[in-house]
Structure 1
């Protein structure tokens, strides 16, 4: 991977990095990623569980996700409440209530599209979806609230980057060798990059991001700069930027 650093054309460098990391992703045991768990099921609700728990060490995330019995999403709430799994900030009650919430909701895509079409942005879609999840289950705890996050508002500066939610949207909207493309009706050009610490640091080193604060405004700035490379699908570079940081190449 060191070879990408000698390219003058940053777009070509990112394209090369993306191809190489996509090739490596065919061996998920070497590069654990919650997406590889989600791809086994190709289900929007299971994918959301995988995305919302995608914080912390990648190996531990995947280990936890593989321990979950996703068939419970189709079981009674009485059965779901027997869940004993826990992960970092979430105790077993938090995990069970996430499953209960997803069991009660009809379609994640429909609730997202309501806000997306009305507001004309993915943030509007997320606000609609998160509001629906909150309404359908009034349970609240520090761990559960951390999973769902706060309702987005229209300001970008100082607002959370909503990394796990934007990663979920990438999985749902894009379709290639990596992302599942389970949803329709959302433009790839409207997606916002899932900004994590690896992507944030690498993008600043490459001159793609100048904002020093890790927030939604930074995610928007990076997304807009990546649109210069591909205005129709700027988020396709997310995997390359993330892996460049995760593997220590940059």
Structure 2
């Protein structure tokens, strides 16, 4: 395919897969249970944090997280006290455990009390390098609270060559327009043009087959290469192609 044919093909696939009937089969269903902005973004962030492994398990454990917080995540975080830590006992998703969760709750509390919330914090870290330095800035602020070193592995740092797949997915959910009924578009201070594709096994493999990506590793350098290719196809909304690449790989075995 030439560039024009590739764009037509991927545009069609993006439309095909960015549909509300995608939601019941995806972790994005968890934040879709809420209406308040802060509830949506907190539910989305915590869900994205544990979004690796089996999707059924991700959804089950993200539902447990919401239940732990009484299905009012923003109110729970604002009013959380360490005496409530027993609520987290027994929670585990792969290597993310109750200790990690308690740290995340305190970190989010610090962000809402002292940094004007998640959107403001990410927006404040944007540079000419786009959102990847903002993610690194976010991680630095996130771990201002006392924490065990092991918990840091659950927030990726693009400046340490991570593709930061889960945080980029979270940012896609928050920033991209809601007109298709999948993403939320509730963050107005960050442009969709700055988003990066959540780079995973499906988007990486399909991207390589379509010659959008040449590097073999799914790391920050590969993400930059894929981003550059997708921005040539649509500089205003490059990450709509996440639906196309993921759908082709996960559902069509492309």
TM-score bracket, normalised by the shorter chain, equals 0.7 to 0.9
Superposition deviation, residue 74 in structure 1: 4.2
SS at match of 1:228: helix
Aligned counterpart, 1:90: 96
Aligned counterpart, 1:35: 28
Taking the aligned partners of 1:221 and 1:119, their CA distance within structure 2 comes to 17
Superposition deviation, residue 119 in structure 1: 5.0
SS at match of 2:190: coil
Taking the aligned partners of 1:160 and 1:120, their CA distance within structure 2 comes to 15
Q: CA RMSD in A?
A: 2.1
SS at match of 1:9: helix
More helix by share: 2
Cα gap change, 1:193 to 1:28, in 2 (>3 Å): closer
Superposition deviation, residue 161 in structure 1: 0.4
For residue 22 of structure 1, the aligned residue among 18, 30, 40 is 18
Higher relative contact order (CA 8 A, sep 6+): 2
For residue 109 of structure 1, the aligned residue among 119, 140, 143 is 119
Report if aligned partners of 2:203, 2:242 keep a CA contact under 8 Å in 1.
Answer: yes
Please tell me whether residue 55 in structure 1 is matched to residue 70 in structure 2. no
Q: How does 1:148-163 map to 2 (within 5 A)?
A: 148-150=155-157, 152-153=158-159, 159-163=161-165
Q: How does 1:167-206 map to 2 (within 5 A)?
A: 167-176=169-178, 177-206=181-210
Report if aligned partners of 2:111, 2:121 keep a CA contact under 8 Å in 1.
Answer: no
Taking the aligned partners of 2:22 and 2:121, their CA distance within structure 1 comes to 35
SS at match of 1:186: coil
Aligned counterpart, 2:152: 145
Superposition deviation, residue 234 in structure 1: 0.6
Superposition deviation, residue 249 in structure 1: 3.1
User: Gapped runs of 5+ residues in structure 1?
Assistant: none
Superposition deviation, residue 247 in structure 1: 1.6
Cα gap change, 1:171 to 1:27, in 2 (>3 Å): closer
Superposition deviation, residue 226 in structure 1: 1.2
Cα gap change, 1:218 to 1:97, in 2 (>3 Å): same
For residue 126 of structure 1, the aligned residue among 117, 127, 135 is 135
Report if aligned partners of 2:23, 2:182 keep a CA contact under 8 Å in 1.
Answer: no
Aligned length: 233
Report if aligned partners of 1:81, 1:96 keep a CA contact under 8 Å in 2.
Answer: no
User: Please, what TM-score do these two structures have when normalized by structure 2?
Assistant: 0.84
User: Please, what TM-score do these two structures have when normalized by structure 1?
Assistant: 0.85
